[in-house]
Structure 1
């Protein structure tokens, strides 16, 4: 369905994702994969003309709202500014009629521009050339730019275009906005003001249009329309054969959640500012605005300048695709916002943040852009309010992070009901919001990872220590004493493998809880000795001295499942006793979750089947706590039982395959991860792109193939490039020092541009790099 061989006009390759055939039954794929954004907002790439089954989504980060008391908070679908009602000689234009040739819709990753072009012949035999362009500005976060060029190739035609701001949209039926106010200034500047129903976030959306005939701007007084939840204008132009019409549209989006209004907000002031912004971008024009946007992206690619020289060019394009989407979905501008599991590309998971951010996306920012990594962790610090409330509501102490997070103070926002049970016909209850609790220690792991990799003591003093201490207090209160076994256990949980619900002693959960408490004890001692004033502050805030007594009494009695006689660590208390079935029919499936066509969740729960990496994730995060032979034995045991029905899974298994020296399997899993969104499965991305998997692609390359790890506070580099890779180069930040690393099958080159030397382990040997070193 998608082609990756198209080059940019200047000849640059491995930058373009192209759709070469229009398919009305597969609209969601390109809408999500080719989504645009800048972290402030995300725009799903629906076509300008309307089709049944399309999803027209515009999301502004952080603007969460609840439709009513029976639903959870979600990012509201803002008014559509991309839809155009195009008519040719009075008949509505659609690709479902007429003849289409030379069709192409491309996402240019380098410049973050969406371009769609084709030649269309209508039923009367009149032929027109269409080119649509669109971008969401990285230079001006509130700006969306669009351009349509229409050329008459045979005969004269009358072209009419109706365009505006259409708030007759919803989130799959949930309407998040009050009716709002509409206005048109000077027959040119369109304005729509709406407020979310529950969170009371104000939106001001503006739009303006410019028409040119054969390059010359024309004044064309539009027909104006204001209707329910809609404001629009319509233009008509007569085109002679050979003439071209250029139709430009700029739109601006501002909300009361914008950081500029965090302290001092009034709707009239924002409205005035938004109108001024709209007039400014209109005066600049599409071409100049796009050039500024492209320049901003050039800086991004220069900063994240990772390159792969591979015999398979798809490898580099897949990596660039992953980096592109991480940029467009990350709210680098505002620490009050997280990253949704679908980014800003679709309604899937309602814009909520999961452990996906900390475990799969944050490593990219830790090593590529520590400033953004810190912002994402500060979002979690701001979420302590909701985490403490969740702990209290569940009868625990400390901070218990929500499985799904929205606005930081919202607390738990996981829906309660999900898909159908094929046996009972009832809705399946979603237990993760209640008992999938490992996210609390996952966030602490990310804090620790960031601190050891950056040395950012200021972050720890302001935020990090408090997060670690209060989550350790939670875990200590969560532990359950088993008198018969003489140990503390953690029962009734869901681990990373979500096909196993209500299990006792999930190994990942237990080990990570132990890590969390142990880390808190280490930092307790550090602050007590080195920073007595800071220690006093946290002691007064959290009663640390009493907490320490509890930690000391419980830590060594936490049950940590150990390898059996076959070196296998039980995923939970009963996993190894469950039935084993042949998983071959479900391993190479067209759509994830196909096993539920034959079994319900309770039945799958009684089989040795894993949705995703569980024990393997433990080996990745706490790898130096386990012997290599134990890791290998478990990998071989659990890999054949893992369906990879979660997009989070393949990258972890790929990294471990690299560690074990299985280059062929490591690359195969990397490619499968890349093909979750870019592959041929036409409905894989309908609900949005897979944010964690995209972060995992970077992890496969840098932490897997290049072997970059942080172990016990030390940087390690142990490359195992795929056999068909000739070179891998990437930037890496370590302890505030920027490094440039280049790896070939023959050598490793490390350049340190900082004035101080860097220590790291290269293939297990401690090395010191001052300027450039070759190994």
Structure 2
């Protein structure tokens, strides 16, 4: 059903993919993977005409609302502007009736435009060509543009189209908005106001239409409708055979969360929004699309990565990943973050996880450091909620939420999840209570950003405070085991979420230890070099007391060591659990098939993992383990890992490359690229997989190119797949722009700096000025 070889005008290849047939039972996949956005808002790519099973979503970043006291906050599904209700000769138009030929729905990644076209024949034998185009502007982030062209091919038709702003939508049943004011100005400009029920965020949405026949403007008096939560205009005309009716719709979206309207009266926002809506209508689709195209041209210039591969799909997959990284990221506002489904669907309610810090942030650290900083400032703003969570759980410092929404909200993880196949009850979601490694993941990301960018201003304003208060949490979280004379971390969930309530999850313990190491290191550095910073933080953080706790406990934290077979136990009991034949689950077509036969409690007692756990530890803290230990653990844990999390495959791919198995690394990379973009037509129904999208970039740059930050130094250890002849990519390192060109035989790096640059290539330290060319 998906065509990956779509050629765009000017013979551009590997810039687009298409849906080649309309299947009403398979709507969700393309709605998600073809979704549009600009970081401010995301629009799910549902068809214009409605179908049972569709999911119309429009999300504006940061506008979280709590529907009910028994539910958690989520991004509310704003009013829909994409639906067209169409009649052909008085009968409702639908692709479920008549005949459909030449069907194609394409996402043009280069220009971020959705294009759908087909020839439809009704029961009377009339053939009509339809063409739809749509974009969410990257130039003006408040604008959505739509354009429809209708051409009868053999006989004229009477055509009616109704379109407006429809707020009769929910988040899977939860209505997040009060009924708001609706109005039509000058029989043209529709306005709908809606306000969230709990957070009181105001939305102002406008829409207008432009009509033409064969390029000549049409003035048709519309039928105006205002109903409950809905405002619309409809038009009827006769279209002769061979002539083309063009219907444009320009919509604008503004909210009181917009920085431009912070602290302003609602009337000010409404006036400004209406003026912008009128200007968008005046300019029209084509003019606004040209500005949008230029904004995307700048994106592709900035993130330009070239792969010379025998497999053309690899190029498309990387561009697909880059596209979604851009459309999901709120580069405009540090109060907002990236959801686990981006802005492409209702999955995970728009909440942010450790996905951002570990799988997405590296893309921005090395490509757009200013955006990486903004995403970390979001975590700084989240210290309020993190401190509250620590206090509520009897700890000190900052305990980051497993799921975070508006930064000050604190923990927003739902309590109840899917059905338990044994009891028939809902399964309790323990992550918000005991999956605590997120706290050290944030600290790790702060350190990663700082060492790669040298951004001292960030550390002084935000970074040190995050590192110190997260370390204070861990110091208070440690539990003394009197019998063994050491500190444990009990009752947790590690990255492998198929193991709940475990003691001494290795990833959690090592990362907590590393978090405290960083706090001690930077405390000592500041004490000798910048004591005024410590003085500023002392009153709020009680740093002297915290420092005593860090230093007195850190050397007594239990860090699981390799056994006689070099295996690091994932937790205290994993190696003693029952082993079963996992072959059919490893070969599953849909993730989570294990739970058709086992409950989570039963899975908890088996040697089976959801995702990389020990492997994540080796990736983040690779210098703490020998190659022999890493390889032994890879061989032990990989057969037991079902990769039921989209986070897993990219990590295993990178580590396979580290072990010199480039064929396996490439196979796992390809599997990672197919999580969303692949042929499984239900893989992305609830939205794209943000972490996997970031992981694709990591596989290429941190895996095959071997780019790493180790001990504050830049390392490059290339191992290209056999299918690739060369790889080119840009990065930023310590404020210097580098262009890296790799082949199987050599490396060429150019630098924008006038100063010499040091790095390590395949274990050898190199110092170069402006250009470096070395054999591999």
Structure-1-length-normalised TM-score: 1.00
8 A Cα contact 1:39 1:331, kept in partner:
yes
Q: Give the structure 1 partner of residue 111 of structure 2.
A: 111
Contact 1:67/1:197 (8 A) holds in 2: yes
In the other structure, the counterpart of 2:211 is 211
Counterpart position of 1:181: 181
Which residue number in structure 1 is paired with residue 23 of structure 2? 23
Structure-2 residue corresponding to 1:168? 168
Q: Deviations over 1:508-538 (max 9, x none)?
A: 0000000001100000001111101111111
2:735 corresponding residue in structure 1 = 736
**Structural mapping, 1:417-428, within 5 Å:** 417-428=416-427
Match of 2:57 in 1: 57
SS of 2:246's equivalent in the other structure is strand
For 1:440 and 1:367, locate their aligned partners in 2 and report how far apart those are by CA, in whole Å.
23
Residue 37 of structure 1: aligned partner: 37
Q: Deviations over 1:211-267 (max 9, x none)?
A: 0100011111100000000000001111111110000000000000001122x2211
Post-superposition shift, 1:757? 2.0
* 541-550 or 698-707: bigger deviation: 541-550
* Structure 2 residue 641 is the aligned partner of structure 1 residue 603: no
Residue by residue over 1:590-634, the C-alpha shift from the partner in whole angstroms, topping out at 9 and shown as x without a partner, is 110001111111111101101000000000000000011000000
1:143-202 Cα deviation digits (max 9, x unpaired): 000000001101110110000000000000000000000000000100000100000000
Q: Aligned partners of 1:110, 1:757: CA distance in 2, in Å?
A: 36
- 1:5 alignment partner in structure 2: 5
- Is 1:437–1:493's contact at 8 Å kept on the other side of the alignment? yes
**2:703 corresponds to:** 704
Distance in 2, Cα, partners of 1:746 & 1:444: 38
Name the SS for the 2:504 alignment partner: coil
* Secondary structure of 1:115's aligned partner: strand
State the shift of 1:291 in Å.
0.5
Q: Post-superposition shift, 1:572?
A: 0.1
CA RMSD of aligned residues (A): 0.5
Distance 2:602 2:533 in 1: 52
Distance in 2 of aligned mates of 1:349 and 1:40 = 18
- Secondary structure at the aligned position of 2:161 is classed as strand
Q: Which residue of 1 aligns with 2:724?
A: 725
Partner in structure 1 of residue 593 of structure 2:
594
Which secondary structure does the structure 2 equivalent of 1:10 belong to?
A: helix
Task: Measure, in 1, the Cα distance between the counterparts of 2:690 and 2:223.
Answer: 42
The 5 Å alignment of 1:85-484 reads 85-262=85-262, 264-484=263-483
Q: Deviations 1:518-559 (Å, cap 9, x if unpaired)?
A: 100000001111101111111222111111111111000000
**Partner residue in 2 for 1:68:** 68
> Contact 1:382–1:408 at 8 Å: present in 2 too?
yes
SS at structure 2 position matched to 1:116:
strand
Task: For 1:532 and 1:571, locate their aligned partners in 2 and report how far apart those are by CA, in whole Å.
Answer: 40
Q: Quick one: distance in 2 between partners of 1:55 and 1:201?
A: 23
* Rounded Cα–Cα distance in structure 2 between residues aligned with 1:400 and 1:576: 29
Q: Deviations over 1:326-375 (max 9, x none)?
A: 00000000000010000000000000000000000000000000000000
CA distance in structure 1 between the partners assigned to 2:76 and 2:702 by the alignment: 36
User: How far apart are the structure 2 equivalents of 1:72 and 1:769?
Assistant: 53
Shift of 1:10: 1.0
Residues 751, 769 of structure 1: 8 Å contact kept? no
CA distance in 1, matches of 2:509, 2:227: 58
* Counterpart-to-counterpart distance in 2, 1:754 and 1:165: 52
SS in structure 1 at match of 2:9: coil
Contact 1:57-1:80 within 8 A present in 2 as well: yes
* Deviation string, structure 1 residues 93-146 (Cα, Å, up to 9, x no partner): 000001110000000000000000000000110111000000000000000000
Per the TM alignment, residue 769 of structure 1 is displaced from its structure 2 partner at its CA by 2.5
> What do residues 24-70 of structure 1 show as CA deviations (whole Å, max 9, x unaligned)?
11100000000000000000000000000000000000000000100
**Aligned-partner Cα distance in 2 for 1:17–1:371:** 31
> CA offsets, 1:712-751, max 9 Å, x none?
0000001000001011000010000000001011211100
The whole-number CA distance in structure 2 between the counterparts of 1:253 and 1:16 is 27
State whether residues 81 and 166 of structure 1, in contact with CA within 8 Å, keep that contact through their aligned partners in structure 2.
Answer: yes
- How many angstroms apart in 1 are the aligned matches of 2:287 and 2:566? 63
Residue of structure 1 equivalent to 2:80: 80
Q: Is the contact made by 1:620 and 1:652 (CA closer than 8 Å) also made in structure 2?
A: yes
> Is 1:516 the counterpart of 2:515 in the alignment?
yes
Tell me, in whole angstroms, the C-alpha distance in 1 between the residues paired with 2:655 and 2:63: 38
Question: Matches of 2:653 and 2:762 in 1, distance apart?
Answer: 19
Q: Distance in 1 between matches of 2:426 and 2:711?
A: 45
Give the match for residue 774 of structure 1. 773
> How far has the Cα of 1:767 moved from its partner?
1.1
The whole-number CA distance in structure 2 between the counterparts of 1:134 and 1:86 is 17
What is the rounded CA distance, in whole Å, between the counterparts of 1:772 and 1:548 in structure 2?
A: 44
Q: Output the CA distance in 1 between the equivalents of 2:752 and 2:396.
A: 46
In 2: Cα distance, 1:703 partner to 1:710 partner: 9
* Partner SS for 1:285: helix
Give the aligned length.
Answer: 774
Q: CA deviation at 1:756?
A: 1.8
Q: How many Å separate the matches in 2 of 1:345 and 1:271?
A: 27
Deviation at 1:205, TM superposition (A): 0.1
- The CA deviation string for residues 308-341 of structure 1, in whole angstroms up to 9 with x for no partner, is 0100000010000000000000000000001000
| Structure 2: distance between partners of 1:770 and 1:540 | 46
Distance in 2 between residues matched to 1:288 and 1:768, nearest whole Å: 49
Give secondary structure in 1 for the equivalent of 2:741.
strand
Structure 1: distance between partners of 2:196 and 2:366: 37
The residue aligned with 1:635 is 634
Aligned 8 A contact 1:750 1:769 in 2: no
| Structure 1 Cα separation of the partners of residues 307 and 270 of structure 2 | 47
CA distance in 2, matches of 1:386, 1:522: 26
Please give the per-residue CA displacement for 1:252-285, whole angstroms capped at 9, x wherever unaligned: 00000001122x2211000000000001111111
The separation in 2 between residues aligned to 1:738 and 1:604, in whole angstroms, is 48
Contact 1:179 1:229 in 2 (8 A): yes
What corresponds to 1:690 in structure 2?
A: 689
What secondary structure, in the 3-state scheme, does the structure 2 residue paired with 1:340 have? coil
